[in-house]
Amino acid sequence: MPDAVIDLRSDTVTRPTPGMRAAMAAAEVGDDVFDEDPTVNRLQERVAALLGKEAALFVPSGTMSNQVCVRTHTQPGDELLCDVNCHIYNYEAGGPAVLSGVTCRCVEGDCGILDVSQLDGLVRPDNEHFVRTRLVCLENTHNRGGGKVYPLEKVQAISAWARRAGLATHLDGARLWNAVVATGVPAQEWARHFDSVSVCFSKGLGAPVGSALAGPRDFVAKARRTRKLFGGGMRQAGVLAAALYALDHHLDRLAEDHRHAQVIARAVADTPGLRLVPPEVETNLIWFTADPELGTAKEVAAALRQRGVLVHPAGPQKLRACTHLDVSAAQAERAAETIRQTVSRLAAA
């Protein structure tokens, strides 16, 4: 893709930087299925420490990480509670049903954010007719919720409720790093309210591949077996040392992505026919709708594409733009201007 194109479709589109590639080339490796890859082991120890958990496990993707956790927490016939727009339910190809025999009981959150009062009463009685309610999954930041950061007090309340109800808790923290940078609340503090946590290196942190799950040592040992079952046992996976490099070099800079998101959000908010949903952008995701008079989301995205700005049509009238490592301040300004001009032209047509 030519440099002139500004790709805001996802924060997964970044290319590894020269520094990352150098780290990958230099990585010491071994066979990770034999537990002998020193770079993977270092990464796992690092993630466990960052999240304040006993152990962590490197996995190829955020989807596998979440689904390994769902499977490890549950048995076929169990049920998990989640927000209706969460990634685990919507974008993982039916993973809970297909891979774990687990049904999802979805609750409509406010921009993906659940309140503990919505969960009260949802734990099924112990009776042979019912599925067994077993797990609560939250997502922070919330992707379809507009990149919203979960209010910490809501996390605390849901976690305490789940513990009282005897349920396990899992956090899809694909963009937990963004929540950390946006709030200053350390990853450990977010993570301590969950039995398992999944984090990604291939989104805001800009690594080409990789996620990790973390939790108690016995949980992670069980998850390691599930990873093998799902085909995620990798061999000289230490070449993916870009993940460690990303933790060293790309965490704090997420604040830049959040600033750039504000530039684009302002353009969306100022442009008649476009509407930010939710109205406040807190991190690096900008979700917005286009009025039907402008065309469908696909048509609006196509018009922007013609002018070198790629956004993701995520519903009939819904679009998403993401800022990331490969979007500079100048490009954020240019994307904002392109949105203003292109949509004004569509409105006038």
Residues that bind ligand TLP (CB under 6 A): 10, 12, 61-63, 66, 87, 91, 139, 143, 172, 174, 200, 202, 211
Find the shortest distance in angstroms from Cβ 201 to ligand TLP.
Answer: 9
Find the shortest distance in angstroms from Cβ 142 to ligand TLP.
Answer: 7
**β-sheet bridge partners, residue 215:** 55
Find the shortest distance in angstroms from Cβ 91 to ligand TLP.
Answer: 4
Query: Radius of gyration over alpha carbons of the chain, in Å?
Result: 21
Looking at the Cβ atoms of 211 and 283, the one nearer to ligand TLP is: 211
Task: Scan for tokens 């519903």, then name that residue.
Answer: 315
Find the shortest distance in angstroms from Cβ 263 to ligand TLP.
Answer: 20
Find the shortest distance in angstroms from Cβ 254 to ligand TLP.
Answer: 15
The DSSP code for 308 is T
Looking at the Cβ atoms of 210 and 238, the one nearer to ligand TLP is: 210
Q: Contact 45/271 with Cβ under 8 angstroms? A: no
Amino acid (one-letter) located at 55: A
Looking at the Cβ atoms of 23 and 138, the one nearer to ligand TLP is: 138
Q: How far apart are CA 334 and CA 323, in angstroms?
A: 13
Find the shortest distance in angstroms from Cβ 323 to ligand TLP.
Answer: 13
Residue 254 tokens, joined: 């997420």
C-alpha distance from residue 33 to each of 28, 72, 185, 243 (Å): 15, 19, 34, 18
Q: How far apart are CA 115 and CA 107, in angstroms?
A: 10
Looking at the Cβ atoms of 10 and 296, the one nearer to ligand TLP is: 10
Cis omega (within 30 of 0) for bond into 342: no
Looking at the Cβ atoms of 60 and 295, the one nearer to ligand TLP is: 60
CB atoms within 10 A of CB 326: 16
Q: Contact 176/199 with Cβ under 8 angstroms? A: yes
Looking at the Cβ atoms of 93 and 160, the one nearer to ligand TLP is: 93
Comparing every residue's Cβ against ligand TLP, the nearest one is: 62
Burial of residue 106 (CB within 10 Å: 0-12, 13-18, 19+) is middle
Looking at the Cβ atoms of 241 and 285, the one nearer to ligand TLP is: 285
Looking at the Cβ atoms of 44 and 198, the one nearer to ligand TLP is: 198
Find the shortest distance in angstroms from Cβ 143 to ligand TLP.
Answer: 4
Longest dimension (CA), the chain: 63
Q: How far apart are CA 109 and CA 88, in angstroms?
A: 14
Task: Scan for tokens 């992505």, then name that residue.
Answer: 257
Burial 202-236 (b: 16+ CB within 10 A, else e): bbbbbbbbbbbbbbeeebbebbbebbeebebbbeb
Find the shortest distance in angstroms from Cβ 57 to ligand TLP.
Answer: 15
